[in-house]
Structure 1
Amino acid sequence: MSETAAAGLSGVGDLPRQTRRTAQDPPVSGPGPRPGADRGMRVGRRHTTPGVHPYDETTWERRDVVLTGRDGVAYFVERGVEFPDFWSSHASDIVTSRYFRGDPGDPGDPGDPGAAGRERSLRDLVDRVVGAYTAAGRSAGYFAAEQDTLAFEHELTWMLLRQVFSFNSPVWFNVGTSAPQQVASCFILAVDDSLESIMDWYRAETLLFRGGAGVGVNVSRLRSSREPLSSGRPAAGPVSFMRGADATAGAIRTGSATRPAAKMVLLDVDHPDIVDFVACKAREEAKIRVLRDAGFDMGVGGRDLDSVQFQNANNSVRVSDAFMRAVTEDAPFALRTRRDGRTVETVRARELFRAIARAAWECADPGLHYADTIDGWHTCPASGPISASNSCSEYLHLDDSAATLASLNLLRFLRDDGGFDVEGFVAAVELVMLALDVSVSFGELPTPRITQVTRDHRQVGIGYANLGALLMAMGHAYDSPRGRAIAAAVTSLMTAVAYRRSAELAAALGPYEGFARNAAAHRRVVDRHAEASAAVRSVGPTDAAILAAAAGEWERARTLGERHGWRNAHVSLLAPTGTIGLVMDCDTMGIEPDLALVKTKHSATGSVMRIVNRTVPRALRALGYDDAAAGAIVAHVAEHGHVVGAPGLAPEHLAVFDCAMGERSIAPLGHVRMMAAVQPFLSGAISKTVNLPASATEADIEQIFLEGWRLGLKALAVYRDGCKVGQPLSAGTPA
């Protein structure tokens, strides 16, 4: 790495491509801070060898990437790009088209490190990102010695190369380029009841979308259309201002890529405009159907889709326990003014709840945020309330804050003997948490307020993908006691190690700035996590072993946290992992089961991708089928898209292959039960869709929303198959 790269944080955006380092640094043992050290972390080697670069242990190959739209015409072509031979073509297609930086065809100037030209290899991309992280960590004093710096660099490279984890997309878009070093993908904004604040909201969203982030905002502070302005005229109301924000989002493609902007808008259930908010997207979906039937192009990425509103945001209603109790009791509920809290109207809570369920049945929006449950797990109440989330409802923390995310590929921790690699998982969480905290040190943020709140609380979010595939590969059904026990155990272990690592970082570098005024609340939340872990009932040897490891980690996290505090106010969540899940060659995203064993993905560019589940053969081996029997079942799946009627498949094994849609779909409450199993072990929440068949009723959605509240979820969204004309993912069989 050049001296310029290592000189300081201010030069991170101008880093040259990383030079491979193979110095004979000695291995370092021990996961935590060096005994007696005031600063710096020790970093051990698990996957790499001193003197051998991870690239030198990889077989590389050249590939051509050609992407076509719905019309069959190629819209992206790049030939001769370099990837490891074990990466799928889907993964290399996505990385080449979305994450490689530079103008296609630009060879660069070999004599000028600042003019490197177009990235042509995964090595270029990983070097750019890992080089920036290593330089930032060194400059900020994260490493106890240079050998720890080099171990961090090599271990991080190995894990990214082997698809063990991935940073969120803004890291790949921005880090090490001339663009602002925006590393966070999740932002929560605040908007107050003034035109100046509304304009600041629009501007901040635009800047964040450009950098590849998702944004959430609660618009409940805005006066309703039933309240007067100082002039005496009625206010426009939040739904009107949502139109302007939606149009701006529709004009942005994030990270200079083809991915559309992602945003969340919330409204409190007692806002006088709640009925209009609930119905606004359902009305637009009705327009979409009329326009489609009239011959307009209204599908995913359709050229006429921008003629309707509210298509660039997820909407959610923030409901209180008082409202939910009023629903169950069929009691009245007051809608109140924003300025003085006067009652504008009293409605029947159950009727309003049914209107929410009806709109969700029609168009999948709105979802729900359970406000009192969220508040009960808030680590920093002295710093402010939680009023909103990011665009996908997994990051829930302070207004005007941000979180950088990374997700682990759970299938990489399934051993050949069918057991879960607890030690490897613990080591991975340790390294990723270290890297995420480095992100906070150098990541650029769009406003002084967001910068201050984020630097003072250092929110990060470690999570995972491929849970559905992990359970299938183990031979367990997603909707089963064993499936939920394994998921709970893995999630508990992940957050316990994250908190233990955060306490070690606090010992070496200091706790987050806001810890002192929130210490009691933060310790109470960590205690709740540990108590919830102790209450999980194990149902098999795998989850019992993971839970035992989690118990030890929670004890260490609490002991170290009592002594040193924690470095991060927020450590874990479960993101949707759509793009990065495909980059890691995951069969299932986030906490989701597979949508279908064979599915079709439509992108906003018009491309169509057929995705076939690759976990079925491994699951059949785990269940005891020989090669011939497994081959016949796999052939059946390839032909029909499901396992129903597969020759030789035992009836008791059918549930292992249940998916979110299609034949033998998982019951909607099975999704809710899985979310409830893991929610107590997350700082944030879960980005997940409860999938329902097209035949589901409004009453079914009401039941799901009620059960989500009763089971302690923080947020919940539903999707009824076929409820939207532009459905990105669908069950599909070979053409």
Structure 2
Amino acid sequence: MENVKTYSYDEASKASLNYFAGDELAARVWVNKYAMKDSYGNIYEQSPEDMHHRLANEIARIEKKYPNPMSAEEIFQLLDHFRYIIPAGSPMTGIGNNFQVASLSNCFVIGIDGDGDSYGAIMRLDEEQVQLMKRRGGVGHDLSQIRPKGTPVNNSALTSTGLVPFMERYSNSTREVAQDGRRGALMLSVSIKHPDSEAFIDAKMTEGKVTGANVSVKIDDEFMEAAVADKPYTQRFPIDSSNPLVEKKISAKKLWSKIVHNAWKSAEPGVLFWDTIIRESIPDCYADLGFRTVSTNPCGEIPLCPYDSCRLLSVNLYSYVENPFTKEAKFNFELFRSHVAKAQRIMDDIVDLELEKVDLIMSKIANDPQDDDIKHAEYHLWEKIKNKSSLGRRTGVGITAEGDMIAAMNLRYGTQEATDFSVDVHRTLALAAYRSSVEMAKERGAFEIFSAEREANNPFILRIKDADPQLYEDMKKYGRRNIACLTIAPTGTTSLMTQTTSGIEPVFMPVYKRRRKVNPNDTGVHVDFVDEVGDSFEEYIVYHKKFLEWMRVNNIDTEKRYSQEEIDALVARSPYYKATANDVDWLMKVRMQGAIQKWVDHSISVTVNLPNDVDEALVNKLYVEAWRSGCKGCTIYRDGSRSGVMIAVSKADKKEAKKDKETTPKMPVNLIQNVVEVRPKELECDVVRFQNNKEKWVAFVGLLDGYPYEIFTGLQDDEEGIALPKTVTKGKIIKQIEPDGKRRYDFQFENKRGYKTTVEGLSEKFNPEYWNYAKLISGVLRYRMPIDHVIKLVSSLQLKDESINTWKNGVERALKKYVTDGTEAKGQVCPVCGHETLVYQEGCLICKNCGASRCG
């Protein structure tokens, strides 16, 4: 590879900026995430044009294996400028990339057949999810096979610990995996039938620990009917046994209310309408052959059987609208059908490319300098994945830019007219993709276990039969190349490069304001805002790209500085009015999802965004409507519901909070709950180690109800510091009162043999200056200031001594562990894209706009 051309970051950024017509965010995202690089950071592609040639050449190489191949140039024209067909992140990064040995699959599900309740099975899943995550895959698995808490086990523990400890294990493993700046992504699910499902539902609320996983509950029709009618429901273990070991009756309505409350409060758990998923699933027609669906990928759009995987690709719907935003706007269905057929071919080619990647992964494992005993589990994992991918050849053709397509057709997202049009588009897509899969079966052969008889009564197949009888007859005769074909995923950063709305979602905001720091003494600078430390900022308008196109079509000046009133008036004139993520008709959005779901054989990832002031009754109504409308799953996000720290609230607290609501309407719920003013004698404690310049330091974080209450910091393993074994991560801080009335704080922990050891007088071992700062921080923690605000306070401390500043950074890192995922880092700017769109995720700051990650 010595003669291969490389580019500097500036060269790639400049070329990409030109490619994206000046869109800095799109250019940065592409260079940072998708340009081909080696492990040393050398960049081998100057712009997306190079990437698309790489992809086209590799896909064309596979095409040549089969009759009637598409040429590299034909494929390139479909990919160029992200106009028509957009492979998802893993295929886009990995295809033709010889610098990394990674899977092209976005989604995996794992699981153990038979006794998945043994420790061996539980540990095997833990190992397998890590092995997949290190190859860029998101993983899902189900916990319904783990026996409920308190049931007998055949080991020294005597009784089972239940689901929650294993949720924490899998979550922690996910947080430990990072690959090329990406953290692992995990979905944990459990059946509502399981007797521990309530503990599962509450785990992220009360434990505050399962931060490395999304959690969803698999809900059956019987439970939903019982919840709506307020009838009892029977839980059992094993969940599908006719002779269960455990059986108990519960109030379905009460448990459903808890699901609704937790979703309202924290956006989790998500709900999976499992009977709908299984009833509609074509792969489950082959359940006895290994295709029984057990869980979903982390975003929920691909229900999968164990060891199956899926690659994803999106079709840019906006590009098929001719004369967008005019009275002559028209959707080109003929071109759309043609391109969907080709997209399905490309997806099948990517299955072959994935099988090549899996062979490379297996070869690498075989040649690794490790004992065969160590390598066997990983090697066998990829053998199972290769087998499932070969057997079913599952694909994931989806869409992006639904919101922009609707607006370009002069329709309003969330109206019945827009929904009817979208359903027509998705019906067309489904029929074209399935026709393409049948045509490939003629040329390339059907997937190995295809059986028209097995699929004869599947509701999705029957819809195809009704809509296109000839397609159905051809499918019976020739088979189908792919066991399932379609999905709608959240397109995330790829939608930044298409410069459109994401997936099936409406526009987030068509116009918004940003601030940039300026020198007020520079010529021509307009100062709109001065912050608390005297820095000056200029406000500027950011337009959604397709809203800008609407302005141009309607001859509206795009260079003018508009007032907020003028911006509001512009939006009100546009088809984006009342059609943003936060103000669409929420019930209509759910019904739209259900209507489109009938033409998507996998599932749809969609979030219903709600304003902060909605009540739980609305969430209940939305979830019930989603079930009745035929959705396979539903997730809601109430604005601000993940900020602050989640603490269980007693009924008395709720009454008090309700009474105070009128006088303190803006106060976060965590600030109107009980504050413990008298410190308990003992507090649980986490130990967090960090480096202060070249010195090893340790922080002791005292916890009350899982929330940081105080912090001590000091030197570790120093003559005047704290001698502490490296294995210690938890213990207790005990408050002691000396005979003379002075207070002393001791730290107590247990060693491996269970002996308790005490470190006396923590405060006496600290530099007085650090101790004073620690008292300041502890003071605001005790009065429940949200952790992100405490971190901002610590960060703002103006300290001249470099060593103290390093200590300050260590304290910030210690506290970030307790920030609830999704909390906005207000006032902080992304160093990559320059936007105030940073959120805390697993102790790191993640940019919602460009995906940049900053830890520490």
TM-score normalized by the length of structure 1: 0.74
* 1:134 lines up with 2:60 in the alignment: yes
2:143 is matched with which residue?
A: 219
1:162 aligned counterpart, secondary structure: helix
Cα gap change, 1:730 to 1:482, in 2 (>3 Å): farther
Greater mean alpha carbon deviation, residues 685-694 or residues 385-394: 385-394
Distance 1:734 1:225, change over 3 A: closer
SS in 1 for 2:248: strand
Distance 1:508 1:249, change over 3 A: same
CA offset digits 1:319-349 (Å, max 9, x no partner): 1111011111111112212275244321100
1:420 is displaced (CA, Å) by 0.8
Aligned equivalents of 2:541, 2:293: Cα separation in 1? 40
1:386, 1:398 within 8 Å by CA — same for their partners in 2? yes
Q: Quote how far apart the aligned CAs of 1:460 are.
A: 0.4
CA 1:442 to 1:618, structure 2 compared with 1: closer, same or farther past 3 Å? closer
Name the residue aligned to 2:248: 345
Aligned CA-pair RMSD = 3.3
More contact order relative to length (CA 8 Å, sep ≥ 6): 1
Q: Which residue of 2 aligns with 1:419?
A: 330
> Is this contact kept in 1: 2:13–2:28, CA < 8 A?
no
SS in 2 for 1:197: helix
Pick closer, same or farther for the CA change 1:657–1:696 going to 2, 3 Å: closer
Superposition map of 1:529-608 within 5 A = 529-530=463-464, 551=467, 554-586=468-500, 588-598=501-511
Match of 1:401 in 2: 308
1:538-561 C-alpha deviation (Å, 9 max, x unpaired): xxxxxxxxxxxxx5xx34431320
In structure 2, how many angstroms separate the alpha carbons of the residues matched to 1:16 and 1:556?
54
State the match for 2:680 in structure 1: none
What is the correspondence of 1:683-722 to structure 2 with a 5 Å cutoff? Answer: 683-722=601-640
The answer on 1:613 being equivalent to 2:544 is yes
Separation of aligned partners in 1, 2:51 and 2:59: 13
2:350 maps to: 439
Q: 1:16/1:693 Cα in 2 relative to 1: closer, same or farther (>3 Å)?
A: farther
1:490 and 1:683 map into 2 onto residues whose CA distance is: 15
Identity %: 23
Answering whether residue 220 of structure 2 is matched by residue 320 of structure 1, we say yes
Q: Kindly tell me: are residues 466 and 508 of structure 1, through their superposed partners in 2, closer, same or farther at Cα, counting changes over 3 Å?
A: same
| Cα drift, residue 383 of structure 1 | 2.6
2:17/2:24 contact within 8 Å kept: no
Q: Quick check: which has more Rg, 1 or 2? A: 2
1:613-657 CA-partner distances (Å, limit 9, x unpaired): 1222444677xxx42xx449x968x6549964449x55xx67745
For residues 642 and 593 of structure 1, the distance between their equivalents in structure 2, rounded to whole angstroms, comes to 22
Structure-1 residue corresponding to 2:259: 356
Which of 454, 457, 461 matches 1:520?
454
Distance of aligned partners of 1:561 and 1:731 in 2 relative to their CA distance in 1, 3 Å threshold: farther
Q: Secondary structure at the match of 2:397?
A: strand
Alignment equivalent of 2:185, drawn from 262, 273, 282: 262
Match for 1:314: what amino acid?
Answer: N
Question: 1:568 is matched by which residue type in structure 2?
Answer: N
- 1:309 aligned residue (206, 209, 217): 209
Distance 1:565 1:336 in 2: 40
Of 121, 127, 147, which residue of structure 2 is paired with 1:203?
127
What residue ranges of structure 2 are gaps of 5+ in the alignment? 359-380, 515-539, 644-820, 828-833, 837-856
Q: What SS does the corresponding residue of 1:101 show, helix, strand or coil?
A: coil
2:598 is paired with a residue of what secondary structure?
Answer: helix
Q: Structure 1 residues 502 and 654, CA, compared in 2 at 3 Å: closer, same or farther?
A: closer
1:58-97 alignment, distance < 5 Å: 64=10, 84=19, 86=21, 88-97=23-32
Change (3 A) 1:493 1:154: same
Tell me if the contact between 1:327 and 1:353 (Cα under 8 Å) persists in the aligned partners: yes
**Which of 475, 478, 492 is residue 427 of structure 2 equivalent to?**
492
The one-letter code of the counterpart of 1:520 is: R
**Matched letter for residue 322 of structure 1:** E
- The CA deviation at 1:566 is 0.6
| Secondary structure of the structure 2 residue equivalent to 1:568 | coil
Q: Which amino acid in structure 1 is aligned with residue 490 of structure 2? A: P
- Alignment check: 8 A CA contact 1:82 1:122 kept: no
Conserved? CA contact 2:162–2:196, under 8 Å: yes
Name the aligned partner's letter for residue 351 of structure 1: K
Task: Give the Cα–Cα distance (whole angstroms) in 2 for the partners of residues 682 and 584 of structure 1.
Answer: 22
DSSP 3-state at the match of 1:223: coil
SS at structure 2 position matched to 1:513:
coil
Q: Residue by residue, what CA displacement relative to the aligned partner does 1:130-164 show, whole Å, maximum 9, x if unpaired? A: 332222333xx2243xxx35x2x112212222212
- TM-aligned CA deviation for residue 583 of structure 1: 2.0
For residues 697 and 590 of structure 1, the distance between their equivalents in structure 2, rounded to whole angstroms, comes to: 27
TM-score, normalised by the number of residues in structure 2: 0.64
Question: Which amino acid in structure 2 is aligned with residue 226 of structure 1?
Answer: G
The alignment partner of 2:545 has SS state of coil
The Cα offsets for residues 9-36 of structure 1, whole Å up to 9 and x where unpaired, read as xxxxx99989xxxxxxxxxxxxxxxxxx
Task: Give the direction of change, closer, same or farther, for the CA distance of 1:710–1:82 in structure 2 (3 Å limit).
Answer: closer
Counterpart secondary structure, 2:330: coil
**Which residue is equivalent to 1:510?**
445
Q: Residues 618, 120 of structure 1: CA spacing in aligned structure 2 closer, same or farther, 3 A cutoff?
A: closer
Looking at structure 2, the residues matched to 409 and 596 of structure 1 have their Cα atoms a distance apart, in angstroms, of 19
Please say if residues 105 and 310 of structure 2, whose CA atoms lie closer than 8 Å, have aligned partners that are also in contact. Answer: yes
Larger mean Cα displacement after TM superposition, 419-428 or 348-357: 419-428
SS at match of 1:447: helix
Contact map agreement 2:272 2:634 (CA 8 A) in 1 = yes
- Kept in 1: contact 2:398–2:489 (CA 8 A): yes
Instruction: Give the whole-Å Cα distance in 2 for the aligned partners of 1:184 and 1:364.
Output: 27
Q: Residues 48 and 81 of structure 2 are in contact (CA less than 8 Å); yes or no, is this contact kept in structure 1?
A: no
1:501 aligns with 2:436: yes
